[in-house]
Structure 1
Amino acid sequence: MFTSNRHVLRSPYPDQLKAILNIASATQSRDWLSHWSQIDMTGTPLWNLPGLAQQLGVAQISLKDESARSPLGSFKALGAPIALLRLIMRRWPDHQLTAKDLFEGRHRGLLGQFTVISATDGNHGKALAAAAQAVGCQCVIVIHANVNEERERAIAAYGAQIVRSAGNYDESVEEAARLATKNNWNVVSDTSYDGYEDIPRDVMQGYSTIAAEVVEQSGSTADRCAFTHVFVQGGVGGLAAGVVGYLWEFHQLKRPRFVVVEPKQADCLYQSAVAGQVTKATGSVDSLMAGLACGEASPLAWKILQAGADHFMTVRDTDATEAMRVAATGNHRDAPLLVGESGAAGLAGLMTLLQQSAWKMEAGLDAESRVLLISTEGATAPSVYAECVGETAESVLARQAAWLKRAA
């Protein structure tokens, strides 16, 4: 499914949205993250894929590869740690806490009885658990019935207490809120709800790091964006809002078109665009693209997306699998890339859109288009990845290393 956003603004970045997401706060978040040993802040690769661009009939395809961001394996390493630090600093405003000292564990005595909790499909919970372990606070992670044991073990490895709930992701969010109220714990969620906006906003500011790096790596200027189109994953909308907000503020009227992509059965953003207001998904929500299997959009993220996202679309799980395989295969001009299930959504969206002539025309895609994709994760569930691609992550990375050696 594909729809254009009838509420999109073609204006300078509005002040009311700047109060939610802005470049100044994103820059501060980026500086704070540089003090965490789990993050590589030299910048993740921005791959140029000329072979695929020629095959699909566009001028350029670039892919931002977040699989290399951290041992955590995904872009979520940028959001949860910033939200945790800002939460702690708000809780103890007179202690002159710094990101460097917190990440180095110098306030463990202060934080030993402080507990954070969140629901997750995997990556957000793992990032929060790792950040909590670094600063020295307690962490409880709620996972729902469809989260596989491989992802559960990866979270538990960072010292988090795991609570398994029935139902889907949205029901695990409700369970996390219930436990927080009962035990006086602190919810660190990437989705907002009534009366809960500060922490999701902080998470989105961390995600803006991706857009900031893309600007630098691509040679974009305020007056010239290196890309005509940006395809970005949906989910609750946090990543999409972080990318849209940053690039819109940076480029103003010269911003690219934004296409938000989500699973067909977890279409809360698509349905919100059709309805003109936050609306629940219409499908089962369960998806191979586990990080995007969300039934309800974040109202805070929606404020950015309703104004700034040009198009919304859905893809099938089989489309994501095909995109994973295309990325992994590579060719003599394109490196083989390790792109996980949720990370493949943008490429799946592009490939799907280009097969539909009416949608392609409506989105303004043609032979002159320069497309940015964001691969949000690598093989965060290695067995799932191998089953989808027919090859292990280690094998793909070995072929990538050989390709780079030949290209040098």
Structure 2
Amino acid sequence: MSENASSLHVLPWCVRPGARTWRCDPAPAEVRAFHAALPDYSPTRLTELPSLAAELGVGRVFVKDESCRLGLPAFKALGPSWAVHRTLVERAANGVEQGQVTLVTATDGNHGRALARMARRLGQNAHVFVPQGVHPQAVAAIVAEQAKVTEVPGPYDEAVRRAAEEAAVPDAVLVQDTAWPGYEQIPGWIVEGYSTLCAEIDEQLAAEGVAEGPDLVSVPVGVGSLAQAVVTHYRSRPSERAAALLSVEPEAAACVLESLTRGEPVSVDTGDTIMAGLNCGTPSSIAWPYLRAGLDAAVAVADSDSARAAGDLAVLGVSSGPCGAAALAGVRVALTGVGAEERRTALGLGPSSVVVLLSTEGPAANPHCTTGH
């Protein structure tokens, strides 16, 4: 069972004792090799920010900057690229005629654009459903990848339902980054795809003299697929100096925090938030067991916290959108303010600790990221 570390009126926060002792199997090693063979692959930056370390009272802070990943302004390209590859290989192995297929998904922006990019590269079709409230610029970016876009007058979960219905025909495949009972294989491949990000962090930290790995990783959470990949990576390693793992959500859509607090997966009604890519009301069914067992803590942050973090990161040379900046916002509210010492103790942090923030996206229009096809 989870326990509240402070009053929910002070900070939406939940801590999970014993998470660092839980273990699972690692992601397949061939995922990294697949991505490394892509023509526009290169590891994204891991940037050290000493001023943040001083502010947070820790030894070192690094930001994994996903503002330009495989030509797109978010980490999302890693998951669909691997999942589509595996899907087409499986179809061929099962004797399915190798004609054009339509890759269908629902998205708040980056996942749909990444899937549309992959479909275009492979000569396939893409149909993307977007919920109410997605920025027109994000919709336009998906259309620019030559995908069909259907705007749904409802929340993300409704867009997922519509996409699943659309894909229930021959020559269509649902490539969704959330899972539910009966639909878990492809979301599992998407999660595997994200493992490349974690493998890069290992190598980059080692080059910075941190071969033993971080003490805390802060990860923004929507349905929990990236968090599942992070948990898988750090909970499949030897138990010595296991990293603490912190999930961060918008206060308007804290489905993982609420599920951890209750001890079972629940859906929540979502509200408006600038963290559009995290505006999800239901945890992924395959992610939930990993989040429940492997996350040390969960926190929810206000839009103002995320906006401030994005501005501060920009000043420090890291291009981050509201979702990516949530990682910093979450660490800030966890490690400062009323009850901070109790939360720091729960996370096992001290003045020499190493913290990694996963900045999962850049601004919607990132001039530093080439977007050629």
Q: TM-score, normalised by structure 1?
A: 0.82
> What is the distance in 2 between the residues matched to 1:74 and 1:360?
33
What CA distance in whole angstroms lies between the structure 2 residues aligned with 1:52 and 1:63?
A: 10
1:351 equivalent in alignment to 2:352:
no
3-state secondary structure, aligned to 2:21: coil
Corresponding residue for residue 49 of structure 1:
49
Shift of the alpha carbon at 1:296?
Answer: 0.5
Match of 1:32 among 31, 34, 44: 34
CA distance in 2, matches of 1:215, 1:267: 29
SS at match of 1:110: coil
1:328 equivalent in alignment to 2:314: yes
Instruction: Give 1:226 deviation, angstroms.
Output: 2.9
* Matched AA of 1:297: P
Indicate the residue corresponding to 1:177 in structure 2.
164
Match of 2:179 in 1: 192
C-alpha contact (below 8 Å) 1:11/1:253 kept by paired residues: no
CA contact (8 A) 1:273 1:306 kept: yes
CA contact (8 A) 1:3 1:312 kept: yes
How big is the alpha-carbon RMSD for the aligned residues of Structure 1 and Structure 2?
Answer: 2.3
Aligned-pair identity (%): 34
The Cα of 1:184 is off from its aligned counterpart by 5.7
- Higher share in helix: 1
Structure 1 residue 299: Cα displacement: 1.3
Q: Deviations over 1:366-395 (max 9, x none)?
A: 32221110111111x23xxxxxxxxxx55x
Distance 1:131 1:343 in 2: 22
Matched, 1:110 2:98: yes
Comparing 151-160 and 223-232, the one that deviates more: 223-232
Match of 1:145 among 123, 126, 132: 132
1:12 shift after superposition = 5.4
Listed as ranges, the matches of 1:9-408 within 5 Å are 9-11=19-21, 13-14=23-24, 18=25, 22-23=26-27, 25=28, 27-37=29-39, 39-41=40-42, 43-93=43-93, 110-112=98-100, 114-181=101-168, 185-219=172-206, 225-284=212-271, 286-330=272-316, 336-364=317-345, 365-379=349-363, 381-382=364-365, 394=367
Structure 1 residue runs without a partner (length 5+): 98-108, 331-335, 383-392, 398-408
Distance 1:67 1:188 in 2: 23
Instruction: Using the TM superposition, give the Cα deviation of residue 153 of structure 1 relative to its aligned residue in structure 2, in angstroms.
Output: 1.0
Q: d(CA) in 2 for partners of 1:310 and 1:111?
A: 46
Distance change >3 Å, CA 44–CA 360, structure 1 → 2: farther
Aligned residues: 354
SS at match of 1:230: strand
Q: Distance in 2 between matches of 1:208 and 1:67?
A: 17
Structure 2: runs of 5+ lacking an equivalent: 1-11, 369-373
Q: Distance in 1 between matches of 2:207 and 2:19?
A: 22
Gap change, CA 1:272 and 1:220, over 3 Å in 2: farther
Higher RCO, Cα 8 Å, sep 6+: 2
Give per-residue Cα distances to partners, 1:310-357, cap 9 Å, x unaligned: 000000111100000110112xxxxx1101111101101111122234
Aligned residues of 2:270 and 2:280 also touching (Cα < 8 A):
no
Q: Distance in 2 between matches of 1:153 and 1:224?
A: 42
Distance 1:116 1:79, change over 3 A: same
Q: Distance in 1 between the 2:288 and 2:215 partners? A: 22
Distance 1:328 1:33, change over 3 A: same
AA paired with 1:306? R
Deviation at 1:137, TM superposition (A): 1.4
Relative distance call for 1:224 and 1:307 in structure 2 (3 A) is farther
Per the TM alignment, residue 229 of structure 1 is displaced from its structure 2 partner at its CA by: 0.8
Native 8 Å contact 1:130 1:158 kept in 2:
yes
